[in-house]
Amino acid sequence: MTYLDTQAPIRRIWPAVVAGISLLLASALSVGGLNIFGAFAGFGFLPLVIIAIWPRQANTILSLLFVFMAGIFTDWATAGVIGQWALVYSVIWGVLRPELRSAPYAPVSLLVFWLAICGLAILLLSVSGWFVFGIMPDLRSLGRQMILATFVLPLISLMRGVISRRFSDSEEWDR
């Protein structure tokens, strides 16, 4: 077991940079969507998958900066309310606090935690959208986005495991 204070700072920066770049790519993908049987299913919750599997040993300040900037980018790219996704990403990352977890998530607990993250995101989007526009958002659309991201979660978690093993020090990248 290692303590956070005894690790070299450069070792804690790389997981934050890699996760931040992945989050920015997921934010860029979240702009699009699919038309499934006449119903549009967007990828809006895809960046939340990256936040859910954020590395425990990542630098806190750099991680929060990446999370906030990805939210601002998502707001800008979707022509939405500036700061709404930044609020959602930052609050969810603050609730997660990956650096305070003592062990990686087991697959079942990751799924339960993922559903809690989605519920919090829908609540934050509903409340902030109601204050800005005065109407409730389309909860069916948010539900379709959540279901689509839930199906993608195991695949992204598996890819993250492969990438972490490729860089030899998998303890640093544990979720």
Delimit the domains of the chain by residue range.
4-173
Distance CA 63, CA 117 (A): 18
Confidence of residue 7 (pLDDT cuts 50, 70, 90): low
Average pLDDT score over residue span 153-175: 67
pLDDT of residue 156: 83
Contact 52, 2 (CB under 8 A): no
Average per-residue pLDDT in the chain?
80
What is the mean pLDDT of the segment spanning 29-55? 81
What value does the mean pLDDT take over residues 54-72?
88
Do the Cβ atoms of 27 and 88 come closer than 8 Å?
Answer: no
CATH number of 4-173, picked from 3.40.50, 1.10.1760, 1.10.287, 1.10.10: 1.10.1760
Q: 116: buried, middle or exposed (CB in 10 Å: 19+, 13-18, 0-12)?
A: middle
- The predicted pLDDT at position 172 comes to 47
DSSP output for 16-74: HHHHHHHHHHHHHHTT-EEEETTEEEE-TTHHHHHHHT--TTS-HHHHHHHHHHHHHHH
Average pLDDT over residues 43-57: 84
Residue with tokens 């389309």: 138
pLDDT in tens, 103-145: 666 777 788 888 888 889 989 988 888 888 888 888 887 888 8
Number of neighbouring beta carbons within 10 Å of residue 34: 11
Tokens of 168: 């030899």
**pLDDT at site 66:** 93
In the chain, DSSP finds a helix count (H) and a strand count (E) of 7, 2
| Structure token pair of residue 72 | 């601002």
The residue that leads in pLDDT, 166 or 24, is 24
Whole-angstrom Cα distance, residue 7 to residue 43?
A: 36
Q: What is the DSSP letter of 106?
A: P
The reported pLDDT for the residue numbered 169 is: 53
**Which single residue is written with the structure tokens 């339960």?**
112
Considering only 43-52, 108-117, 161-170, which range has the smallest mean pLDDT? 161-170
* Residue 33 to residue 56: CA distance in whole angstroms: 30
Question: How much is the average pLDDT of 53-81?
Answer: 87
- Tell me the average pLDDT across 146-161: 82
